[in-house]
Each structure stands twice: as structure tokens, then as C-alpha cells.
Amino acid sequence: MSSVAPVELPIPGGVAGRAPSLEEEYTEATTKVGRVKRNLTSKWATVAALLIALLWTIPTFGLFLSSFRPAVLIKTTGWWTIFSNPGLTLDNYRDVLFSSSVTAPQLGQYFVNSVAISIPATIFPLVLASMAAYAFAWMNWKGRDVVFVLVFALQIVPLQMALIPLLSFFSRGITIGNALIIPPTPSGTYAQLWFAHTAFALPLAIFLLYNFISQVPGEVIEAARVDGASHGQIFLRIIIPLAMPALASFAIFQFLWVWNDLLVALVFSGGSPDVAPLTQRLAELTGSRGQDWQRLTAAAFVSIIVPLIVFFSLQRYFVRGLLAGSTKG
């Protein structure tokens, strides 16, 4: 199936800003694609692409195959000798999926926690960052360039350095004198994790979304302003629909980061398995020291499944992509 849609972003008719449906794009695209197709790609390009794909897949594939091999075989023979050293087992997955520990919760609970942490921790920064990005792109205010640079630079604040102050904020609240301005956030709930992930994600989110939102043709916005639309209306009715592909793309990345996070989870899950995500459990199971190959292999694939499903189901948004609008406008 050939893909699709070199659609130029984004001048859908009129101020109301209706994004074309995917079908429309598709039919429109296939005709064009037919003409351009394969002109850019040569035989060598295909070979190179295959080579890269192979190189990028082999390490993971080796681990995947190993995850079905018994521990002894993993440690003594290469996975590529699987035919001369046969032996497949589901033991590794059983170890990881069904805890042999009577007291530790089963993996299912951690799985639910991961989902419960990731979804809000993806949506919150997305909304807040797109609002801020809009303000940077389409509102005129003094010092916005300076502030934008500051926000941009905040990306480099190391997470590790931010953990203690943030935890302190959660557990003690903010007091001025003796007056409690903001009360402590209850631990043992997801709230701390959501807050932390959102705050840490904002600089990059604002930066990336700004790059998209600022590319929206100025005429569209101006026309809406002349018609008397407020910023709120423009944001909701024009920017959000136009930015959908970018939002979806960023959502995928943010989801992946949150899903794979261990550091934030360790600190803000409040020491309770009630809210701890999958990564925390897998780290315990496999040992952060990496000695138990057999469990590690299986654990890696258990945790990778959801991100892959998310990627495949949202992949079509990448067609338009994070920065499809960044042709010079």
C-alpha cells in the first residue's frame, strides 16, 4: 500500500477552518503520487533502506528470539544458533507476567497503573503547551521572545535536580509564614505523577508545538480577528483542528516517554505499589544490574507492546506529521 498525501498545509477553505477528511486527502493524493512515485527512489536507495531497516531491527529481533529461550541457552549460545541449539520456552514470560511472589501484586495491577498514569500525563501537557504555544505565536506581548527562549532553555534542567524540590512541594505544600498557600498533595494517588510528568514535559512540548502553530498562515488568523473572533475562539476553532496531526504526533512521543519512565515513577509513586507503573515492577524483577538476561528479555517485550500498539494506531497522523507546515510560508 502506498502512502500518501503530500498535502500542503494548511489552507482549508474559509475562516471556519475545516480540515479535509482523510478520504479526500487520499483520493487527491493517489493521483499525484502515481505520477511522482518511484522517481526519487532508485535501486540503490532501496538497498540502502533495506540495510538500515535490517540493522535497526536485528538487535531487537535477537532479544525477542532470546526471550523464548531457556536461561542456560541464552548464556551459552548465540540466538542465531537457535536451529542447532533448539529449545523454546515460555518460562521467561511466565516469570515476568505471573509473579512468583505471593505478596507482590500481579503484573496486571502495574499495567493498569501505567495506563492510568500515561493517559492524563499525555493529555495535560498537550493542552497546556498548545495554549502557551499559541500565546507565543499569535499574541503580541512585550518580552515574548525572551520568555520563549527561557522556556526553551528550561529543557535542559536535569530531571534529577528537579526531583527533590518538587517532592518537597508535594509533601509540604507551600507556606508563606505560617499560612498554608497550597496544601500538600496526597501521596499514594496518581496526582503527583501527573503533575510531575506534565511540568517536565512542557518546555519541549511548547517548543515543538510552537513550531507548528506559528506556521499556520497569518491571513487565516487575521481574517478571524477582523471578524471579531476572540483568541479563545481562534484557538478552539482554527488552531486545534489544524494542529491535530502535530498534537497527535506529540501525544505519541509524550506517551512513550511517560510509559517508559522509571525515574519520576520511583520518586512520586510515594512508595506504594498502589500507583507504581510497569517499569518499576520490571526493574525490580530483572535487577537494575542486568544479570538476569532471561527475565530481561521477556520483560522488555512485555513493556514494548503497548507503545507499539499506540504507534500503529496513531501512525496515520504522522502522514501530516509534527511539522508538515514548515515549508516557508
Partner 1 sequence: MRITRSKRVIIPLAGAAALALALTACTGDAPASSGGTAAAGCEDYSTYGTFTGSPTVNIYGTIVDVEADQLNQSWADFEKCTGITIKYEGSQEFETQINVRAQGGNPPDLAIFPQPGLLDSMIAGGYIKTPAKSVEDNVDANWSPDWKTYGTVDGTFYAAPLMASVKGYIWYSPAFFKDKGYTIPTTLDELTSLTAKIAADGTVKPWCAGFASGEASGWPGTDWVEDTVLRQSGSQVYDDWTTGAVKFTDPKITSAFDYVGNLLKNPAYVNAGFGDVTSVNSTTFQDAGLPILQDQCAMMHQASFYEAQWPEGTTVAPDGDVYGFLMPPAKAGGEQAVTGGGEMVGAFKTSDEITAVQTYLSSALWANNRVSIGGVISANKGLDPNNAKSPLAVDSIKILQDPNTTFRFDASDLMPAAVGSNSFWKGIVNWINGDDTQTVTTFIQSTWPQ
Partner 2 sequence: MTTADLLGKLEQVVIALAAFAAVIGLLLFIIDRAPKKRKDFFQLIGFVTPAFLLLIIGLVYPAIRTAIQSLYDAKGNFIGLDNFVWAFTQPDSLVSLRNTVIWVILTPIASTAIGLAYAVFIDKSRGEKYFKALVFMPMAISFVGASIIWKFVYEYRPTSANQIGILNQLVVWLGGEPVQWLQSVPANTVFLVIVMVWIQTGFAMVVLSAAIKGVPTEIVEAAQLDGTNAFQRFLHVTLPGIQGSLVVVVTTISIATLKVFDIVRTMTAGNFDTSVLANEMYTQAFRAGEPGRGSALALILFVLVLPIVIYNVRVLRKQREIR
Choose which of 11, 49, 88, 180 interacts with partner 2 (CB under 8 A).
49
Residue 185 binding partner per list partner 2, partner 1, none, with a CB distance cut-off of 5 to 8 Å that depends on partner kind: none
Residue 95 Cβ, how far from partner 1 at the closest point, in Å? 10
What cell numbers appear for 316 in the block?
A: 496515520
Residue 100 binding partner per list partner 1, partner 2, none, with a CB distance cut-off of 5 to 8 Å that depends on partner kind: partner 1
Single-letter code of the amino acid located at 278: L
Residue found by looking up cell 484557538 in the block: 235
Pick 25 or 91: Cβ nearer partner 1: 91
Regarding 283 and contact with partner 2 (CB under 8 A), the answer is yes
Q: Which residues in 120-267 belong to E strands, given as ranges? A: 174-176, 179-182
Residue 157 binding partner per list partner 1, partner 2, none, with a CB distance cut-off of 5 to 8 Å that depends on partner kind: partner 2
CA atoms of 329 and 316, how far apart (whole Å): 24
Regarding 97 and contact with partner 2 (CB under 8 A), the answer is no
Residue found by looking up cell 530481561 in the block: 296
Residue 104 Cβ, how far from partner 1 at the closest point, in Å? 7
Residue 304 binding partner per list partner 1, partner 2, none, with a CB distance cut-off of 5 to 8 Å that depends on partner kind: partner 2
CA atoms of 282 and 259, how far apart (whole Å): 12
CB 249 within 8 A of CB 323: no
Name residue 175's beta-bridge partners: 180
Regarding 266 and contact with partner 2 (CB under 8 A), the answer is no
Pick 15 or 282: Cβ nearer partner 2: 282
Helix-, strand-, coil-residue percentages of the chain, each rounded to 5: 65, 0, 30
Regarding 214 and contact with partner 2 (CB under 8 A), the answer is yes
Single-letter code of the amino acid located at 184: P
Region 2-41 residues binding partner 2, contact defined as CB under 8 A: 2-9, 32-33, 35-41
Residue 160 Cβ, how far from partner 2 at the closest point, in Å? 6
Note the residue count of the chain.
Answer: 329
CB 326 within 8 A of CB 211: yes
Residues in contact with partner 1 by the rule CB under 8 A: 75, 94, 98, 100-104, 163-168, 170-172, 187, 266-267, 270-273, 280, 283-285, 287-291
Using only C-alpha atoms, the chain has a radius of gyration, in whole angstroms, of 24
Cβ atoms within 10 Å, residue 82:
16
CA atoms of 58 and 62, how far apart (whole Å): 6
Residue 72 Cβ, how far from partner 1 at the closest point, in Å? 9
- Checking 75-83 for CB contacts under 8 A at 24+ apart, the result is 75/293
Choose which of 114, 269, 279, 294 interacts with partner 2 (CB under 8 A).
279
CA 27 to chain centre: 30
Residue 182 Cβ, how far from partner 1 at the closest point, in Å? 14
Pick 39 or 288: Cβ nearer partner 1: 288
Residue 112 Cβ, how far from partner 2 at the closest point, in Å? 6
Q: What are phi and psi of 182, to 5 degrees?
A: -120, 125
Choose which of 27, 81, 101, 175 interacts with partner 2 (CB under 8 A).
81
CA atoms of 241 and 257, how far apart (whole Å): 25
Name residue 174's beta-bridge partners: 182
Region 151-190 residues binding partner 2, contact defined as CB under 8 A: 151-162, 164-166, 169, 189-190
Interface with partner 2 by CB under 8 A: which range of 11-19, 86-94, 96-104, 117-125? 117-125
# binding residues, partner 2 (CB under 8 A): 139
